[in-house]
């Protein structure tokens, strides 16, 4: 076992990783190198393939957990980790669909138009990626980060997209002593009548929260935004909720609704949130 393996051989992880240098490929085109480690994290339900992105150098860096969208791990999703690392963060991006078994990268253009593919997504994948399951995993993710020598201590950030936006907000209320900055982009079901709706956790949140919704989004309509706003305000949570003039799913370049201007705005608001809360 080499030195890199030893550093990743700790409770909650398997001794498997692949470390590669990655040139940052985002729109900002940073002239920096980052590194990616692919690891497997043990949870109570199995092993979760996960991606670690970190800047070149010794750190320590503030850490961010990225909760993926409903289309799973694919190049456009992994680019989120790349760009965050290029901006100076240690990023953990887990594959939240590990309970469903291995899968090929999903094509958003096919999933959105093929009823059979959409049915498989809903039943095989989303059916197991419940808030209860993902919050159980999140405890393990947080413990993993806390054990890394190149992670800056003192609180982490989370961001999420679509279903991951719900998970990011839920994590803020589930682990308030760990999470100090929370972002949610085109998240759905953030304030519903369900007993596990994230807005009900507002009284427990200590994090600074930023939520960006889309126009004409049935998963996060105006009345839901108002309910979330009321809950966060009543709980005295430092927060901001905005509606982008873009369609649900606008961040990812591989979706039919990708909006370059709105995607860049997402980066600027997220950097502002994390830089203010994690880089001090």
Cα radius of gyration rounded to whole Å, the chain: 18
Q: Which two tokens stand for residue 114?
A: 């093929």
Cα-based torsion angle of the residue sequence 157, 277, 147, 36 in order, rounded to the nearest 10 degrees: 60
Q: Which two tokens stand for residue 12?
A: 């909650």
Q: Is 76 helix (H, G, I), strand (E, B) or coil?
A: helix
Closest CA to 103 of 95, 93, 94: 95
pLDDT interval class at 17 (50, 70, 90): very low
How far apart CA 87 and CA 15 sit, in angstroms, is: 28
Q: Which two tokens stand for residue 105?
A: 């990268």
pLDDT of residue 32: 62
Which DSSP letter does residue 13 get? B
pLDDT of residue 117: 76
Q: What are phi and psi of 238, to 5 degrees?
A: -70, 110
pLDDT interval class at 106 (50, 70, 90): confident
pLDDT of residue 221: 95
pLDDT of residue 195: 96
pLDDT interval class at 280 (50, 70, 90): confident
Q: Out of 80-94, 123-137, 139-153, pick the least confident.
A: 123-137
How far apart CA 188 and CA 96 sit, in angstroms, is: 17
Residues in the chain: 280
pLDDT of residue 19: 42
Give the rounded distance of the alpha carbon of 260 from its chain centre: 20
pLDDT of residue 215: 94
Q: What is the mean pLDDT of residues 219-237?
A: 97
Q: Is the pLDDT of residue 27 over 50?
A: no
Q: Find where tokens 């253009």 sit.
A: 109
How far apart CA 49 and CA 54 sit, in angstroms, is: 17
Q: Out of 7-16, 95-104, 148-157, pick the least confident.
A: 7-16
pLDDT of residue 200: 98
pLDDT higher at 26 or 173: 173
Closest CA to 38 of 57, 54, 16: 16
Q: Which two tokens stand for residue 259?
A: 């909006």
Q: Out of 45-54, 65-74, 84-93, 105-114, pick the least confident.
A: 105-114
How far apart CA 38 and CA 20 sit, in angstroms, is: 9
How far apart CA 246 and CA 125 sit, in angstroms, is: 26
Q: Is the pLDDT of residue 107 over 90?
A: no
Q: What are phi and psi of 261, to 5 degrees?
A: -65, -45
* Exposure class string for 207-233: b at 16+ Cβ within 10 A, else e: bbbbbbbbeebebbeeebbebbbebbe
Q: Which two tokens stand for residue 196?
A: 């596990």
pLDDT of residue 119: 78
How far apart CA 221 and CA 193 sit, in angstroms, is: 14
How far apart CA 47 and CA 232 sit, in angstroms, is: 34
Query: Would strands 208-214 and 179-185 be described as parallel, antiparallel, or unpaired?
Result: parallel
pLDDT of residue 18: 42
pLDDT higher at 94 or 26: 94
Per-residue pLDDT of 252-261, as tens digits, reads 999 999 999 9
Per-residue pLDDT of 174-224, as tens digits, reads 999 999 999 999 999 999 999 999 999 999 999 999 999 999 899 999 999
Mean pLDDT, the chain, whole residue set: 88
Q: What is the mean pLDDT of residues 94-101?
A: 95
Q: Is the pLDDT of residue 159 over 50?
A: yes
pTM over 0.85: yes
Cα-based torsion angle of the residue sequence 105, 108, 110, 112 in order, rounded to the nearest 10 degrees: 140
């Amino acid at each position: 076992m080499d030195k890199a393996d030893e550093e990743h051989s700790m409770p909650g992880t398997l001794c498997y990783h692949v470390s590669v240098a990655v040139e940052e490929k985002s729109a900002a085109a940073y002239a920096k190198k980052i590194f990616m480690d692919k690891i497997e994290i043990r949870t109570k339900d199995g092993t979760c393939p996960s991606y670690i992105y970190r800047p070149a150098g010794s750190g320590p860096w503030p850490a961010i957990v990225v909760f993926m969208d409903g289309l799973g791990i694919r190049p456009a999703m992994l680019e989120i980790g790349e760009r965050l690392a290029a901006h100076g963060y240690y990023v953990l991006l887990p594959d939240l669909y590990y309970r469903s078994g291995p899968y090929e990268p999903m094509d958003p253009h096919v999933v959105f138009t093929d009823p059979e593919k959409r049915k498989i997504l809903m039943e095989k994948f989303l059916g197991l990626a419940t808030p209860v399951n993902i919050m159980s995993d999140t405890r393990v993710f947080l413990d993993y980060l806390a054990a890394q020598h190149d992670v800056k201590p003192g609180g982490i950030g989370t961001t999420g997209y679509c279903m991951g936006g719900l998970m990011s907000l839920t994590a803020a209320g589930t682990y308030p002593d760990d999470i100090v900055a929370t972002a949610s982009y085109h998240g759905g079901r953030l304030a519903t009548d369900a007993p596990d709706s994230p807005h009900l956790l507002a009284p427990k949140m200590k994090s600074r929260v930023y939520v960006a919704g889309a126009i004409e989004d049935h998963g996060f309509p105006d009345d839901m935004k108002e309910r979330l706003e009321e809950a966060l305000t009543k709980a005295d949570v430092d927060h901001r909720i905005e509606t982008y003039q873009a369609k649900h799913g606008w961040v990812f370049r591989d979706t039919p609704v990708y909006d370059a201007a709105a995607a860049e705005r997402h980066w600027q608001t997220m950097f502002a949130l994390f830089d203010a809360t994690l880089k001090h």
